[in-house]
């Protein structure tokens, strides 16, 4: 199986330098990954490196805690588009969801989707902090708000993607919304299992290893 067109080649650690981002973009071009996922401050630099390639440019909004105001997230999303982003990975307000304020979460997602129009919106629900009922509520909020994807994790929480969570998310998303699994995907076998469960994107910093390791 060709994994490269499912991979968002990701570098979000706080110590990432401009040189690191440039290397990431060159790796994405070399391995024909579908996208890179980087911090917003590096979008212009990354755009210049990716300009003659088919690699899409994704960035993160309200990252990694999700607790900013809706207005701040909307501004951040518009700013990201102005700087060349093709796709937005946003973090929901986790505390609001856990407090029973699913409408707040849905409205916030809808505001960001409205702000970015036809650009891809991926909604990070940070599954490690949620009960199954909360995961379902988060997925329903994303679906109702016309998000393009629902995504498991930031990679900065207490846990990453799990097969069980993806299964649950797929039950809500059906074929109306795509799923991105991220956090802890470090080997080819795990990646393939996620794709078999219905995931259409993999967020990972181990992309090169996934595509260069020999098939069993």
**51 among known catalytic residues:** no
Are residues 210 and 8 in contact, defined by beta-carbon separation less than 8 angstroms?
A: no
Q: Catalytic one among 122, 135, 151, 170?
A: 151
Q: Which of 94, 167, 165 is nearest to 124 (CA)?
A: 94
Q: Catalytic one among 56, 113, 135, 180?
A: 180
- For residue 93 the two structure tokens come to 């307000």
- For residue 40 the two structure tokens come to 């917003």
**79 among known catalytic residues:** no
Rounded to a whole number of angstroms, the CA Rg of the chain reads 16
Q: Catalytic one among 89, 113, 122, 135?
A: 89
**151 among known catalytic residues:** yes
Name every residue whose Cβ is closer than 8 Å to that of residue 130 and which is 6 or more positions away in sequence: 94, 97, 98, 138
Q: Which of 125, 166, 118, 162 is nearest to 142 (CA)?
A: 125
Point out the residues that are catalytic. Answer: 89, 151, 180
């Amino acid at each position: 199986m060709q994994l490269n067109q499912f991979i968002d080649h990701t570098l979000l650690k706080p110590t990432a330098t401009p040189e690191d981002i440039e290397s990431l973009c060159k790796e994405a071009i070399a391995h024909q990954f579908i996208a890179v996922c980087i911090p917003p401050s590096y979008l212009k630099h990354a755009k210049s490196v990716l300009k003659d390639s088919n690699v899409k440019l994704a960035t993160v909004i309200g990252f990694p805690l999700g607790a900013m105001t809706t207005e701040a997230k909307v501004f951040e999303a518009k700013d990201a588009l102005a700087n060349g982003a093709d796709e937005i990975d946003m973090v929901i307000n986790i505390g609001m969801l856990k407090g029973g304020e699913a409408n707040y979460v849905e409205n916030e997602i809808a505001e960001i989707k409205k702000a970015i129009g036809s650009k891809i919106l991926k909604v990070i629900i940070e599954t490690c902090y949620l009960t199954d009922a909360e995961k379902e509520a988060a997925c329903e909020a994303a679906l109702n708000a016309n998000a393009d994807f629902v995504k498991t994790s930031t990679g900065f929480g207490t846990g990453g993607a799990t097969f069980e969570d993806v299964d649950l998310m797929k039950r809500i998303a059906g074929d109306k919304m795509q799923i991105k699994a991220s956090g802890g995907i470090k080997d080819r076998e795990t990646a393939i299992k996620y794709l078999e469960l219905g995931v259409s994107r993999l967020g990972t910093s181990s992309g090169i290893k996934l595509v260069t390791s020999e098939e069993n």
